[in-house]
Structure 1
């Protein structure tokens, strides 16, 4: 009887342990594009508004579109802006674990425009946070970062995609350097004095979706 009981307990332990481990280590859900496919690190995408919106200036109104690059004073690096009425430039995503081909929610990743920009040939198109601008009270998303090398020296280069209502949002909340002091904040939109729409840290997230380029 004891032999049968021990055999049963051993069988139970061997068959249930993997299940428990599998449940505890479940991967975050994948990010889905507008065609219902999983986002991948080896493909190009447009980040576009999930909900159409209109910005009005002193003379006319225009509809916000995808993301591109621009400079306030023709200096480098270029800032990430929202284009007017088009899908913008194609981007790519590089997760902190480069062996993972699928892009998943709430996972540290680098974001970069697929092509270089001839206006700033010596700067990368990898996103990073700019320094806080006290004159306007904003922290823009700019470029000039690097892909990979997670740690304190690259802490400004890491972003995440999170679910937001029926779509997604971008956040700055890196976990690649646990000992670093950093903040967690949504990425939203700031319209400057020249009616340029910048990506910037915000309390009001920019609701987005992803379209394969």
Structure 2
């Protein structure tokens, strides 16, 4: 009898813990558990990158790494819309200002841009030669180009409901904080079909000497954020 009572006393706490564990799992599944906020993206000065504020995205490697991002000739080698997103060849060229807007609602009370979060990327091309395609074109993933086996990044002024406009910012490990890469990997529901998920790199076309942005499996374009207002102030000096 004593042995039986001893076993019961040992099993009872285990059964109670198992019951509560299953109960909390059921509750969490019903109400949904909110994910922890992703890390905040910071600019070259260490300040949080803000939604709706303009930044230049430039190579983290000065000199041979090239300059910032801008609009350039499309794959047909014309300046007819849509234009391609390109990297300028010189590090003294900061490119066009870019703004970020969350695809879904941003965290309550926060305007900070965060990693691993879907954003719309919008150029401000006012006053530039590229404004023929609209003053504020949005980045867009083009259809697969079978001639070269790549997906390129272009722009548009017409947004539909598909996922071609959703881009992420990710931290790059192994190098100083403040260096990032861009990726295309839209957040979708768990039951949806698996989507394309790749980094964004620079594809150099020797036929027209243009550095176009394209999806890559190998070498992402590593960049830093420069607040546009700071760059304009320096250029004015």
The reply to whether residue 50 of structure 1 matches residue 63 of structure 2 is no
2:41/2:115 contact within 8 Å kept: yes
- The answer to whether the 8 A contact 1:125-1:144 is kept is yes
Name the count of aligned residue pairs.
Answer: 179
Residue 212 in structure 1 maps to residue 214 in structure 2: no
5+ residue gaps in structure 2?
1-32, 229-237
**Which is strand-richer, 1 or 2?**
1
Map 1:90-105 onto structure 2 (within 5 A): 90-100=97-107, 101-105=111-115
CA positional deviation for 1:138: 1.7
Q: Please name the residue that 2:211 is paired with.
A: 197
Residue 191 to residue 87, structure 1, CA distance change in 2 (3 Å): same
**What is the Cα-based RMSD across aligned positions, in Å?**
2.4
- CA gap of 1:170–1:160, structure 2 versus 1, over 3 A, is same
Cα pair distance change 1:124/1:133, threshold 3 Å: farther
Q: How does 1:47-126 map to 2 (within 5 A)?
A: 47-52=57-62, 54=64, 64-71=66-73, 72-85=77-90, 86-100=93-107, 101-115=111-125, 117-121=130-134, 125-126=137-138
Tell me, what secondary structure is at the counterpart of 2:137?
A: coil
Contact 1:125 1:143 in 2 (8 A): yes
2:196 is matched with 183
Q: Which has the higher helix share?
A: 2
Q: Which runs of 5+ in 1 are unaligned?
A: 1-22, 55-62
Q: Does 1:37 align with 2:78?
A: no
* Contact 1:188/1:200, CA 8 A, preserved across alignment: yes
